[in-house]
Structure 1
Amino acid sequence: MLKPEERLEILKCLNQNSYAELRQCLKELHAADIAELLPTLALPQRIKVMRLVDKSKASDILFQLHKDELPPLLEGLGPKRTAEIVGQMFTDDAADLLGELPEEQKNILLGLMEAAEAEDIRELLRYDVDTAGGLMATEYVAVKKDITAAEAINILRKIAPDAETVYYVYVTNEREQLVGVISLRELIVARPDTLIEDIMRTKVISVHVRTDQEEVAKMMSKYDILAVPVVNDDMQLLGIITFDDVMDVMEEEATEDMMRLAGNIEPEGQEMESSFWTRAGKRLPWLIGLLFGELLAGNVIGSLSETLERMTALAFFITALAGGPGNAASQSLTVVVRGLATGEVSKNKILSVVWKETQVGLLVGVVCGTLLSVMAYIWQQSTILGLVVGLSLAVSIVIATVLGSMVPVMMNRLGVDPALASGPFIATLMDITSMMIYFGLATLLIL
């Protein structure tokens, strides 16, 4: 976020009377700062800024703006200036931006761009946005395996300025198939006359063009790499995905999982962009279903009203017996869902994770149960009440942690997104279970 003094400095810059002074002032500002302030300006000022900054900075600013802010700005800039700005972007960023525009406007802009660049962007637009093909950029550094290190460095000097990253140099054969990779450091320290095939690594971590974006993110995180090559069925190199693109994916996936954990099934984490009718429609089925579940928990209490009448002090602890296990279940659920999403919980670790969560539940249950039992005894001077309350809480928390860790695992095995095993669902289930345990034990030990 911009500091107040930084905001004032930028506004002062934008109020320059001379175009030359404004252009020089904008040159010294960071694109991210301009992009943050731009939506707060009047449309004529926004257009003025985007016309005066150089095309490279304008492309950085444009890509950081929200999609709802683009149509009026692009209309004001005109097709020619917009095409010039989009042409400065890497192909993956340009495809993302153009993919948000109406078909007619997109085709006009592509028609004004250089033929080769427009064709690359059209190719990327054919892939699903949530696949490796939808994420990849076509600006990368590749050399043939039968050239020398000195020749490769000369090629690098020519094409590196246009590449998205030069940390890795990919090696291809005569059929454009990916056969190896060299780091920039390995290339620089190699003897000039050394053949590339003699120093390249042949075990290349790559992804298929149709691989899901979440799997790409997991792979890059697992192997700690800054970029991953994208290949087709014939192992031909099509493009690369860089770490900054994967960071965006991880944010999207985390947002989606958090929305689902909250009982919301908005697919892309775009809840705030939907109408209130749509948002309510997404939530109502869950909330109505959970409402009937809570009524079932109330029915358990009603059916054991005789027990409640015999010892009215039991009513005081209902909220603790309902809330505590639900919170414990949600904690276990969050840990396991996150582990499944990041790949930390693999198939061969599932039983181990469930057992560890069960052990946590045992410890937490004993401590919380003992504490509540002591409080009940001090308040009512009743050993039997303390035993019922404490034992009920301890058993309920153990069951809650087991359910919280097992339900998402079971859903994952069934091919269902484990994030759908939402916190409200588990909490409602535990309300019913804990009330049955609580009043069951009270009926057994008090009556």
Structure 2
Amino acid sequence: MEDKEIFMEKLVEIEALIDSEKIVELNEYLTEVHPLDIAEILTELPEGKKQKLFQVLPWELAAKVLDELDSDTFSEILSSLSQGQKKRLLDLMSQDDMVDLLGELSEEKRHEIINLLDIDDAEDIKELLIYEEDTAGGIMTTDFVSLRKDISIYNAIEYLRENAPDAETIYYVYVVDKNGKLAGVISLRELIVSKPTTLVEDIMNENVISVNINDDQEEVAKVVTKYDLLAIPVTDTNGRLRGIITFDDIMDVIEEEATEDIYKFAGTMETEAELYEEDKFFPRVLSSVKARLPWLIVTLFGGVMSATILSRYETTLNSYAAVAFFMPLLTGMGGNVGTQSSTLTVRGLAMGHVEAGKSMKTIFQEMSIGACVGIICSIVVCIVAFFWMGNIKLGMVVGISMAVNMITAATIGTIVPIVFKKFGVDPAVASAPFISTALDITGITIYFTLTTILLLS
């Protein structure tokens, strides 16, 4: 929605129309409001007013609003309607959106809603519910129109006139052979301008880009964005056309995957943020503890290891207490460089710009960047240490340690996500807590090893 102030103005105006029972004015007002905005307003209204608002909506607009609701509000609204109203609205809803909502409901509630659908729609919904929600099958819709390749353009257009109203999109129409296997694609424009007697197979494009029904949704999103597609067909292992995925669903996937990666980088989970939105105190606290504690335990043990390593250099610390002044600087700079390299590598892996099997170029590139920034920063810190402490050897140790640490940080920050990806582990878990902990250990080891060698030898 535009912003909070405009949202509140709309909410107040709608509540006033409901309270004054100005049904005609409310109907006219709502037809000018986007379905998503109406869905957001519904969630803010008291229970009784939700039903009053929803009953005013035209059928098609009401179905679009249901598509945008969360599962709890969807179930609440649906339960207030008659059997006939439920059937009509469910028939108008988008199949892929309905599957998403049903997946979040209890088995009993899901079964009750599926029984309201006609036989064909119920079978389609049951089939879609079988697939994992983060696969192509889980996000596709079976509300599409396909054409046989051996029919004429005239018959194809007549077929579309009859069947296209229920389809998710018809900007591109997919062509199949007599066995239902994907054979090509044809645009609506090509159908309209072609001669009626021409066969579909004579003008279709056989070079059609498709995805397998079991492909991960993130891989599907990459294909759609790479080729700038409005929709993409989904086939089974035998090449039969099973559904399509439209661009709006791909946008949802991109947002979902990006959000998931951001939470992983922070060492937490999305469920924590969802409970914040629901404003549930105790579940929120429990969820946050469960989400954050594992990474904090990793950091804790990393700190213990760092302290253990530090204790082995007690003689060095006693002889040169000033070396301790630069420890936070070295570990902090190493952590920053490591996190930067890790973030860019994880993003590159996600976008397909970096391949786990062909990663030497990326590793060498990040090492080179680490070397360049490390040398520049080391010169600066060397000068600062010399003028501050009046000890050129100490300045050289700090400077060299800085350069080596930053090169190491860039290397580790790049290699860890690539190794994780190669072994089938989500590289996003190579997050800031993990990388920072590893670099604290290596940074301290490098610093005190060089200090011991160069200052006490």
What is the CA distance between 1:131 and its match in structure 2?
1.7
> Shift of the alpha carbon at 1:430?
0.9
Give the corresponding residue for 2:203. Answer: 199
Give 1:312's match in structure 2, choosing from 318, 321, 328: 321
Instruction: Report the counterpart of residue 393 of structure 1 in structure 2.
Output: 402
Quick check: 320-329 or 96-105, which moved more?
Answer: 96-105
2: CA distance between counterparts of 1:273 and 1:299?
39
Q: 2:122 aligns with which of 94, 118, 123?
A: 118
> For residue 332 of structure 2, what is the aligned residue in structure 1?
323
Answer whether contact 1:92 1:137 (CA < 8 A) is retained.
yes
Q: Secondary structure at the match of 1:15?
A: helix
**What are the ranges of 5 or more consecutive residues in structure 2 without an aligned counterpart?**
276-282
Q: Pick one of 158, 163, 175 that aligns with 1:159.
A: 163
Matched, 1:24 2:28: yes
Deviation at 1:183, TM superposition (A): 1.9
Change (3 A) 1:9 1:296: closer
CA distance in 1 between partners of 2:10 and 2:265 (Å): 42
**Where in structure 2 are the equivalents of 1:36-435 lying within 5 Å?**
36-77=40-81, 79-264=83-268, 266=269, 269-273=270-274, 275=283, 276-347=285-356, 349-435=358-444
Question: CA shift at 1:124, angstroms?
Answer: 1.3
Distance 2:180 2:440 in 1: 60
Q: Does the aligned pair in 1 maintain the 2:86–2:116 contact within 8 Å?
A: no
Matches of 1:34 and 1:124 in 2, distance apart? 27
Contact 1:396-1:437 at 8 Å conserved across structures: yes
**So what's the TM-score if we normalise by structure 1?**
0.93
3-state DSSP of counterpart to 2:381:
helix
SS at match of 1:416: coil
Q: Out of 105-114 and 239-248, give the one that drifted further.
A: 105-114
Alpha-carbon offset, residue 45 of structure 1 = 0.9
Inter-CA distance 68–13: structure 2 relative to 1 (3 Å threshold): closer
Cross-structure match for 1:15 = 16
Preserved CA contact (<8 Å) 1:83 1:110: no
Deviation at 1:43, TM superposition (A): 1.0
Is the Cα–Cα contact under 8 Å of residues 135 and 215 in structure 2 kept in the other structure? yes
Range moving further from structure 2, 148-157 or 198-207 = 148-157
Aligned AA (2:273): M
Shift of residue 387 of structure 1? Answer: 0.7
**Cα deviation, residue 355, structure 1:** 1.0
Residue 5 of structure 1, CA deviation: 4.0
Q: Determine if contact 2:356/2:419 at 8 Å carries over to the other structure.
A: no
Residue in 1 aligned with 2:280? Answer: none
TM-score, normalised to structure 2, is 0.91
Measure, in 2, the Cα distance between the counterparts of 1:228 and 1:42. 40
Query: What is the alpha-carbon distance in structure 2 between the residues aligned to residue 340 and residue 79 of structure 1?
Result: 49
Q: 3-state DSSP class of the match of 2:80?
A: helix
Letter in structure 2 aligned against 1:15: A
Distance in 1, matches of 2:239 and 2:230, equals 20
Q: SS of 1:240's equivalent?
A: strand
Partner Cα separation in structure 1 for residue 55 and residue 309 of structure 2: 69
Runs of 4+ in 1 over 6 A off after TM superposition: none
Which moves more between the two structures, 132-141 or 69-78? 69-78
SS at match of 2:359: helix
Q: Specify whether residues 364 and 82 from structure 1 end up closer, same or farther in structure 2 by C-alpha distance, changes over 3 A only.
A: farther
**Per-residue Cα deviation, 1:159-204 (whole angstroms, up to 9, x for no partner):** 2222111121111122222111112232233233322111111122
**Aligned length in residues:** 444
- 8 Å CA contact 2:153–2:195 kept in 1: the answer is yes
Which deviates more from structure 2 when the two are superposed, residues 70-79 or residues 208-217?
Answer: 70-79
Change (3 A) 1:414 1:99: closer
Q: What do the CA deviations read for 1:360-419 (whole angstroms, capped 9, x no partner)?
A: 111111111111112112222221121111111110000110111111111221222222
Alignment correspondent of 2:278: none
**Counterpart-to-counterpart distance in 1, 2:7 and 2:299:** 49
Q: What's the CA shift string for 1:85-135, capped at 9, x where partnerless?
A: 232112111111122222222222222222322222122122221221111
SS of the counterpart of 2:341? helix
Matched residue SS, 1:165: coil
What is the CA distance between 1:81 and its match in structure 2? 3.1
3-state SS, counterpart of residue 346 of structure 1: coil
Report the CA distance shift for 1:66/1:378 in structure 2 as closer, same or farther (over 3 A). farther
- Once the two structures are TM-superposed, the CA of residue 284 in structure 1 deviates from its matched residue by 2.4
Identity of aligned pairs, percent? 43
State which drifts further: 75-84 or 361-370.
75-84
Q: Report the secondary structure of 2:74's partner residue.
A: helix
**Residues 108, 292 of structure 1: alpha-carbon distance in 2 compared, 3 angstrom cutoff:** closer
Letter of the structure 1 residue corresponding to residue 390 of structure 2: Q
Q: 1:79 to 1:420 in 2, by over 3 A?
A: farther
